[in-house]
Structure 1
Amino acid sequence: MEMNLPSKESQIPCLVKIEPENGIYTLRTFDTSGRQFSNGHELVAWIKRNWEPIQFQNPDQYIQLLHAIKDELADLYE
């Protein structure tokens, strides 16, 4: 799963990439720096602590992102 989120704070969209089968849990922030996480749960916790829907051009995309991550992680346990 890969999702770009155009933000109000940067010309370059934020990016979240999750590939559980390859152990990839990364994101690109508003300042275009990258972050890597050990698992999807750490990534979600960071997003909830550091991002808010109003920071994005389409705030609904933030909610869609969280749902997409949940769905992606749920596939691990099926």
Structure 2
Amino acid sequence: MEISIENTESQVPCFVTIDPENGIYALRTFDTSGRSFNSGHELLAWVKKNWEPIQFQNPSQYLELLHAVNEELDDTYE
């Protein structure tokens, strides 16, 4: 799963990648730096701690991102 989300702090969108099959859990932040995580749960915790809905052009996309990541992580346990 790859999600791009437009933010208010940069013209470059934030980007989230969750690929359990290949062990890839990464994101691109507002300053275009990248971060990698050992698990999707670590990525999700980082997003909840460091990003807020008001930082995005469409705040509801932040909530959709959280929901999509949760859905993807739930699928890995089936």
TM bucket by the smaller chain? over 0.9
SS of structure 2 residue aligned to 1:32: coil
TM-score (norm 2): 0.98
Please tell me the residue identity of whatever aligns with 2:35. R
- CA distances 1:19-66 after superposition (whole Å, capped 9, x unpaired): 001000000000000000000010001001100000000000000000
2:7 equivalent in structure 1: 7
Report the aligned-residue RMSD: 0.4
Cα distance in 1, alignment partners of residues 15 and 59 from structure 2: 15
Matches within 5 A, 1:1-78: 1-78=1-78
Please tell me the residue identity of whatever aligns with 1:49. K
Structure 2 stretches lacking a partner, 5+ long:
none
Structure 1 stretches lacking a partner, 5+ long:
none
Segments ≥4 residues shifted beyond 3 Å: none
Same amino acid, percent of matched pairs = 68
SS of structure 1 residue aligned to 2:76: helix
Please tell me the residue identity of whatever aligns with 1:8. T
